[in-house]
Amino acid sequence: MDSHCLPIVALITGANSGLGYAIACRLIVEFFAPKADGYPASPDSASLTVCLATRSTQKAQSAIAGINAFLASRLPQSARSRLELAHVIIDLSSPKSIIAAAVELRSKYRRIHYVFCNAAVVPFVRIDWPMAARQMVTNFIEALTVPRYKVQGVGWLTEIHSRESHAKEPLPELGAAFAANVFGHYYLLHEIMETLHASAIAPDAPSRIIWVGSIESDPLTFDIDDIQGIKSAQPYESSKTLTDILVLGSYLPEVQEYLRSYTTIPSRGESSPPAYTIPPIFLITHPGIVSTTIVAIPWWQTYAKVAGFWLCRAFGSPWHCIDPFIGANAPVWLALSPNVDLIKGRKWGSACLWGDGETVLETQVDSDVAAYSAQLWSQMETLRTFWKTRLESLR
């Protein structure tokens, strides 16, 4: 990206498990040792800092130990000395925790080049077995790609809301999936906006905000009058559809007014923000289908699920990447690709073809991005400024 002496800094949310952990591993490997047919090699002087955002120090430490073990045989010592693994604690469902993490990130890093908005929850309750049987019989691959039999909690709010709901003025509702999957990231990014602006004088490439979406996005699960998905029976899919609209809409002319307000560097105390800077860009990706514990099911169901994934791949599904490291292909590609102007404004997924290996494929977005973007951005900005005022008044 840039060749200055500052390290390239990547922040990854939900980096202690599944895809987030795999993104960390893959980013490091490809940053220092790009494949022959891949990106241009980073200069020998380039260094990389990967900051793992997790919900506890213990989770961060065990992820760092795992990454170090993974890299032992994959990175030469010369590259190892140019890598720093750091961490920050954050609960994306709690605006207070987000603010504390933002303060720490701003004090640690002058510039953050890549943010992987990866952390997410599925408010999973149980499997609807009759529905599962019906979908499996009707279309086995679809049943293991976009399962319609995950029963999810309707009206689930963040714990912070339940804990503080008897405060004098009730706190506004935050839908559980909406908060962790979208709004927590959205709020954090604004709070660290100065680190995401590139210098226009140098000039420098814009920071890349890589949102991890899903192949399960479905416009039928999204309601512009309930963007938090509080009334939805599929709040996870609603949050992922919202992510598509938010990111792809960020390139539309009617959204620029909101985008400008969002990406403006907040003024802090006496120092005024630099005048000539380049704001970050939003990119959207998904990992295909990978085997993780995002939906907590018993061990025997996990085995059956993974066997099903292999069958799907054998029968030609390109999306069953299964291994999170393969799922990390598209997210890492969006970060390191030199051709960002060619890939922005489209959704890219990790894919894996039996016999042909892994690849990145463009994924069709069915949502009416043009119809909803301005309204959605307006609502997100209203919610963000509301929370900001509210939290400042509580200080």
Distance CA 12, CA 182 (A): 14
Region 204-263 residues binding ligand NAP, contact defined as CB under 6 A? 212, 214-215
Q: Which among 293, 203, 211 is positioned nearest to 248, based on CA atoms?
A: 211
Nearest to ligand NAP of 1, 27 (CB atom): 27
* Binding of residue 135 to ligand NAP (CB under 6 A): no
Q: Write out the two tokens for 11.
A: 């922040």
- Least Å distance between CB 90 and ligand NAP? 6
Supply the DSSP symbol for 183.
I
Q: What is the dihedral of CA 150, 26, 89, 282, to 10 degrees?
A: -70
The phi, psi pair for 193, rounded to 5°, reads: -55, -35
Residue whose beta carbon is closest to ligand NAP: 18
- Least Å distance between CB 23 and ligand NAP? 9
Q: Residue type at 152?
A: Q
Distance CA 280, CA 207 (A): 5
Which window, 14-22, 123-131, 250-258, 259-267, contacts ligand NAP (CB under 6 A)?
Answer: 14-22
* Binding of residue 17 to ligand NAP (CB under 6 A): yes
Q: Write out the two tokens for 151.
A: 């029963």
Distance CA 186, CA 93 (A): 11
Nearest to ligand NAP of 194, 237 (CB atom): 237
Selected from 8, 19, 67, 182, the binder of ligand NAP by CB under 6 A is: 19
Distance CA 14, CA 92 (A): 10
Nearest to ligand NAP of 124, 251 (CB atom): 124
- Least Å distance between CB 107 and ligand NAP? 20
Which window, 87-95, 99-107, 127-135, 139-147, contacts ligand NAP (CB under 6 A)?
Answer: 87-95
Region 279-338 residues binding ligand NAP, contact defined as CB under 6 A? 286-287, 289-290, 292-294
Nearest to ligand NAP of 8, 22 (CB atom): 22
Nearest to ligand NAP of 265, 322 (CB atom): 322
Nearest to ligand NAP of 92, 335 (CB atom): 92
b/e map 363-373, b = 16+ CB within 10 Å: bebebebeebb
Place of tokens 């714990």: 159
- Least Å distance between CB 146 and ligand NAP? 10
Which residues make Cβ contacts (< 8 Å) with residue 3, sequence separation at least 6?
43, 45, 46
Selected from 143, 180, 193, 210, the binder of ligand NAP by CB under 6 A is: 180
Selected from 47, 93, 207, 367, the binder of ligand NAP by CB under 6 A is: 93
Selected from 91, 194, 204, 237, the binder of ligand NAP by CB under 6 A is: 91
Selected from 55, 113, 185, 190, the binder of ligand NAP by CB under 6 A is: 55
- Least Å distance between CB 289 and ligand NAP? 4
Nearest to ligand NAP of 16, 47 (CB atom): 16
For residue 352, the Cα-to-chain-centroid distance in whole angstroms is 21
Which residues make Cβ contacts (< 8 Å) with residue 279, sequence separation at least 6?
193, 196, 197, 206, 259, 263
Selected from 1, 10, 14, 360, the binder of ligand NAP by CB under 6 A is: 14
For residue 293, the Cα-to-chain-centroid distance in whole angstroms is 16
Supply the DSSP symbol for 40.
P
**Count of CB atoms situated within 10 Å of the CB of 112:** 25
Supply the DSSP symbol for 180.
I
Q: Write out the two tokens for 131.
A: 């529905």
Region 108-127 residues binding ligand NAP, contact defined as CB under 6 A? 118-121
Selected from 1, 9, 20, 384, the binder of ligand NAP by CB under 6 A is: 20
Selected from 18, 95, 147, 279, the binder of ligand NAP by CB under 6 A is: 18
* Binding of residue 16 to ligand NAP (CB under 6 A): yes
Nearest to ligand NAP of 291, 378 (CB atom): 291
Region 347-386 residues binding ligand NAP, contact defined as CB under 6 A? none
Distance CA 260, CA 283 (A): 17
The phi, psi pair for 76, rounded to 5°, reads: -70, 155
Report the interface residues with ligand NAP, using CB under 6 A.
13-14, 16-20, 55, 59, 90-93, 118-121, 180, 212, 214-215, 286-287, 289-290, 292-294
